[in-house]
Structure 1
Amino acid sequence: MKCSALLVFILDSYFVFSQNPHEITYFVGCFDDGSTDIQSEFDGDQILYIDFPKKEVVFTVPPVISPDPQQLLGGFHILKDALDNQKMCPPIGELVEHEMKPVSEEKDPPDSMIFPSREVEPGVENSLICFVNNFYPPSIKVSWTKNGILVRRGVSVGDYSPNNDQTFRQFSTLTFTQSEGDIYSCTVEHPALETPKTRIWEVEFYNTDPSLGPAIYCGVGLSLGVMGITVGVFFIVKAQQAN
């Protein structure tokens, strides 16, 4: 299957039979794999193509069609012209490839952060969120680990969402049940990164015994910090969508 063409030439001719005008279109395609494709249409319908391996013209409509394309085009040197056009394709292709300069696409590396969706409680199911932002092109791979082991179960990846600066953002979540000491990581791969970028999050529980005041303050600070990150990301995304 041909996947791309260097050049396609289209030649149109108009004929009038009685009072009805008709159009014959002649296509010559020069493909970058060195092959050539030639076909012709009559009023938008294919009537022939060239079978180059067999070196013959193949008509694709029954001869009962009026006017008969074979009779109509009998005076033309279709096969000879097609073979001549085939010889033109390689030098034209070389010229086009020489003149076309590769365009280097600008790439923006992603930023990423990892945080739980709500306050951490022992033995309670929760979700970790990996927020990846400000990347281009929209092509990233996100992977999760638990204690250094790749995790696939409970992982979901959202759609790419555009930012106002033509970059993109994406969320990935991991559903898990907390156990103190577990270490989770979110790794992001992107064409603009020389090496994958990894963010790490560790499960920590804090003693809420009233006699341990500092621990209480630390636990409250953690909860407010998580809430602040979640709310902050929410409003950032909402603001970008509203502009």
Structure 2
Amino acid sequence: MTTFYSHLKRSALIILMLNSFCAFLQKAHEITYVVGCFENGTTETLLEFDSDEVFYVDFEKGEVEYTGPYMPGFDPSQLFQDLQIYKNALRNSKACKAIVAYGTIMEKQPSEEKDPPESILYTAEEVDKGVENSLICFVNHFYPPLIKVTWTKNGQPVSEGVSLSRYYPNQDQTFHQFSTLTFTPTETDIYSCTVEHMALDRPQTRIWEPDFHHQHFELDVFCSVGLILGLLGIVAGTFLIVKTL
């Protein structure tokens, strides 16, 4: 089944999706090939198997990047090596420019659909004071796929140790993206992640600060409970021994 989304209302992006439903081993699987065409002239091409990304095309490097999913005895690069993926992606990229230009001409004043992003801020690992960790700002369900993510430490802009992922498509035609900041937590440092998007009335900021006191309290409670249970075990054992004598 082939579906072509020439969303003139969503003029910033035109998506060509080729969905193939494969039935084998008594289970249905979905293969989705996505070509994203952007008004700024860029193109993104990727293939998904049951919503898991198998590969995407890196036009800057001029190669196909295989990202998984990993399956024993299965090498996706061998499976697709004869399909001229990169060559076909270049053709699609050229077609994208023509399609976007045509859509812009056909609708002189395109009304842009906008979906505001949702963002959360969390750490990659359990936080220990003085131990390097990563803060992850996960931005989801936004359209069009044009966002700006900035970081601060104690109110000051931070750029070192910051990375930004590609845009990833969701099933509802929106997108999600990750921004990561490598940091070493202390008791006094406060970090924030700010997301800017045309569907937002104002920038969306999420704040993270460590709570080592809370962690120590939980540890003390855990140790105290363990000690009490241990003492109860000793008392119960002594009672049983006395009772049998």
Report the TM range for the smaller structure's normalisation: 0.3 to 0.5
* Larger Rg belongs to: 1
TM-score, normalised via structure 2 length = 0.45
TM-score, normalised via structure 1 length = 0.46
